[in-house]
Amino acid sequence: MQAVLTQQKCVETLKGESAMLASLTQAKKREMIEKAKSAIVLCLGDKVLKEVAMEATTTSIWAKLESLYMTKSLAHRQLLKQQLYSFKMVESKSISEQLTEFNKILDDLAMEVNMEDEDKTLLLLCSLPKSFEHFKDTIRYGKEGTTTLEEVQSALRTKELTKFKDLKVDEGGVGLNVARGMSEHRGKGKGKSRSKSRSKGFDKSKYKLFLCHKRGHFKKDCPDKRGQW
């Protein structure tokens, strides 16, 4: 809102009429004050307007707004800082998903606090799990000069993408070997299972030799006619 007053060239009204430029005439001061009041009112919603409806001057309106919302703003800013400084990435979640969470905290905090890119980068590196120690050393000492937050996030996303591709290749190889092993196993046991089923399922006692009309043997084993046919 203060930026709006600055744009309208009436931000001086927040100091109070007595503190405004002495070179301004009384009429000009009143005009500027009314302009500032209008700019403030146009930026407020109906609920907030009810809170400041009884205030007559720009300074009193501004003081009322500060008393209502500066405390909440401070608490909100402290909460966002706490979330940022305690943010820790975990291996059970995707890097991209966690970077989105990290950036959202930064975006929310940017509305109230101006942080250096170097500080943001350091906080992100400190949030990485222990398995990223080599990655952190590479970022810190592998390049001359300061590494930006954008560069670190890009490197993290590339690392995740590479890991995902390697995992897919490994899974594909394992699956192929398993399928090949199952196929070979079936091929080796196929002949044996058939021969076993044939020998096990054939009962000679149920069949009669057509030459001697006796059961339980084949032609070559017939005791009555051996050598006669």
* pLDDT tens-place values along the chain, 229 residues long: 677 777 777 777 777 766 777 777 888 878 888 888 888 888 888 878 888 888 877 888 888 887 777 666 777 788 889 999 999 999 999 999 999 999 999 988 887 788 999 999 999 999 999 999 999 988 888 777 778 999 999 999 998 888 777 665 555 555 555 455 555 555 555 555 554 444 455 565 655 655 666 666 666 677 766 555 5
Q: Is residue 8 helix, strand or coil?
A: coil
One-character DSSP codes across 95-114: HHHHHHHHHHHHHHHHTT--
Burial class (CB in 10 A: 0-12, 13-18, 19+), 160: middle
Residue 198 is predicted with a pLDDT of 47
Q: Are 46 and 52 in contact (CB under 8 A)?
A: no
Residue 2 has, within 13 A of its CA and on its CB side, a CA count of: 8
pLDDT the model gives residue 135? 92
CA angle 136-138-143, nearest 5°?
Answer: 120
Nearest to 42 by CA among 95, 5, 74, 12: 5
| Domain regions of the chain by residue span | 2-73, 87-171
Q: What is the dihedral of CA 64, 68, 74, 80, to 10 degrees?
A: -140
| Buried b / exposed e along 115-139 (16+ C-beta atoms within 10 A) | eeeeebbebbbebbeeebeebeeeb
Q: How far is CA 107 from CA 100, 101, 151, in A?
A: 10, 10, 18
**Looking at the DSSP assignment, which residues form a beta bridge with residue 208?**
215
DSSP state of 116: -
Q: Which residues pair with 215 in a beta bridge?
A: 208
Question: In whole angstroms, what is the distance from residue 132 CA to residue 89 CA?
Answer: 10
pLDDT at 14: 75
Phi, psi at residue 122, to the nearest 5°? -65, -40
Contact between 63 and 48 under an 8 Å Cβ cutoff? The reply is: no
